[in-house]
Amino acid sequence: RTGAFDRQSKVGVTATFGFFVVAGGGTILLVQTPVDRPHLRLLLFPHAGGSAAAYEGWHDALASRLPVPVEVWAVSPPGRGARAGEAAFPTVAALAQAVLSELVRLELHLAPLAVFGHSLGALTAYELARRMVDARLPPPVCLFASAHEPPSCGMPEAQRGLASLSDAALLRALAAFDFVPVASLEADAADAAEVAVIAPLLAPLRADLAMREAYLDAVAAGTAPPPPPSPTLPLPVYAVG
């Protein structure tokens, strides 16, 4: 079995950037191009402040390079993109649990599953993987962690408190860290008019930065929510700089 989605012939309305809501599914997991009996499912977690749109075109790119069919899914967190009117998740654990619940409901875990996360997405992908292991579900075949240290490294002091900065100060800090989606808007200038235009885009970013800091501090203090972090995951983990 490769999951209930293979037995469905329709997807719902287009969500954003070529992703679709599964017929009868929720909005937390979106599929790019449905694949009949995929060899692998790839689940993508966006960066802080990001949405599923960050992975536009991944299905076509993989289809042109791989000899086996891969079905590409992406996490669509609330509070940004097509879900801008919804409240963002308050914690990494809450987001990971919501993804896990929908993953199981759609039976997507019944086909081999790989997970990829960039920046904050790497932490959330890790949290999903360890929750799958704890629930005695088939674990992902591998985890790709991009642009983030292991949670055990703790919160970098230079990045602490970013979520509480003023709009102008936050934009300058993100530009200094080469945070490409913001730096590309020439945020380092921090002009008042520029800040006013960009400020609404900062709300989901602030929420994600705050929950990242809280998660890393909780791991460092040994107070992370259950399941307790295990020393290792029973799957390959590939670190991508």
Enter the tokens of residue 209: 């930065």
Question: Crossing angle, helix 92-105 and helix 120-134, to 10 degrees?
Answer: 60
Q: What is the pTM of this model?
A: 0.87
Question: What residue spans of 33-136 are helical by DSSP H?
Answer: 58-63, 92-105, 120-134
C-alpha span between 203 and 199 (Å, rounded): 7
Q: Count other Cβ atoms within 10 Å, centred on residue 162.
A: 20
Q: What is the pLDDT along the chain (241 residues), one digit of tens a residue?
A: 444 444 343 444 444 567 887 766 678 999 998 998 899 999 999 999 999 999 999 999 999 999 999 999 999 999 988 888 899 999 999 999 999 999 999 999 999 999 999 999 999 999 999 999 999 999 999 999 999 999 999 999 999 999 999 988 888 888 787 764 554 445 444 566 666 777 778 899 999 999 999 999 999 998 887 776 566 799 999 999 8
C-alpha span between 227 and 28 (Å, rounded): 22
DSSP for residue 88: P
Q: Are 117 and 16 in contact (CB under 8 A)?
A: no
Q: Are 142 and 235 in contact (CB under 8 A)?
A: yes
Strand order in the sheet with 113-118: 11-16, 19-22, 29-31, 70-75, 40-45, 113-118, 142-146, 237-240
Rg over alpha carbons for the chain, rounded to the nearest Å, is: 18
C-alpha span between 49 and 199 (Å, rounded): 12
- Rounded to 5 degrees, what are φ and ψ at 16? -170, 140
C-alpha span between 177 and 106 (Å, rounded): 38
